[in-house]
Amino acid sequence: MEDIVQEIGRNCMQTGERFIRENGSALVSVAEKIAGAFLNDRKLLICGNGGSAADAQHMAAEFVNRFQLERPSLPALALTTDTSVITSIGNDYSFEEIFSKQVKALGVSGDILLVISTSGESRNIVTAVEAAKHHGMYTVGLLGKDGGKVGGMVDTALVARSEVTARIQEAHLLAEHIICHLVDYILFQQHLEND
């Protein structure tokens, strides 16, 4: 079984390395957009389904609490955590609207919506992006496979090109940590180095 472990490790590293190679400059751009939104009293909304919902919550926690630096809390919100809101929308309307209704209620022009989807095809992610665009929000997709429908809708698509969900999710976690690190650097370290 150790050969299985080694093979998974190789595949994980190959997917991550390809993701960084193909998306390095876009990751910097996304971090700059998020930092700019925070500087302008705007917020980051994050959503996804299943494991991607857990990623949304993880990333929001890194901003609201802290990542690696001791610094002030930053305004990020996972749209996956309020079970009363999610179940009432799902029950009264449809599962397709669980994120879009929250975007309509909470999002304003200048906010950023970051959606996470391993397929890029989830209907509730598509409707969330549509709602964000209508509200003048910048949209980012952490996606898998070929980016799917969402890849053609968002302002910036960060695509982990793999057919294996686990490898996509691992690349997404890497991207989330890189974005958190870069935002902290932009807001709290870069100016110290330039003084």
Question: Is it the case that residue 86 has pLDDT exceeding 80?
Answer: yes
Give the residue extent of every domain in the chain: 2-194
For the domain made up of 2-194, give the CATH fold.
Rossmann fold (3.40.50)
Question: Cα(115)–Cα(175) distance, rounded to whole angstroms?
Answer: 13
Q: Is 117 left (phi over 0), alpha (psi -120 to 50) or beta?
A: beta
Question: Is it the case that residue 134 has pLDDT exceeding 80?
Answer: yes
Question: Residue 189 — pLDDT band, cuts 50, 70, 90?
Answer: confident
Question: Cα(168)–Cα(120) distance, rounded to whole angstroms?
Answer: 11
Reported pTM: 0.94
Beta strands in 40-136 (DSSP E): 44-48, 76-78, 112-117
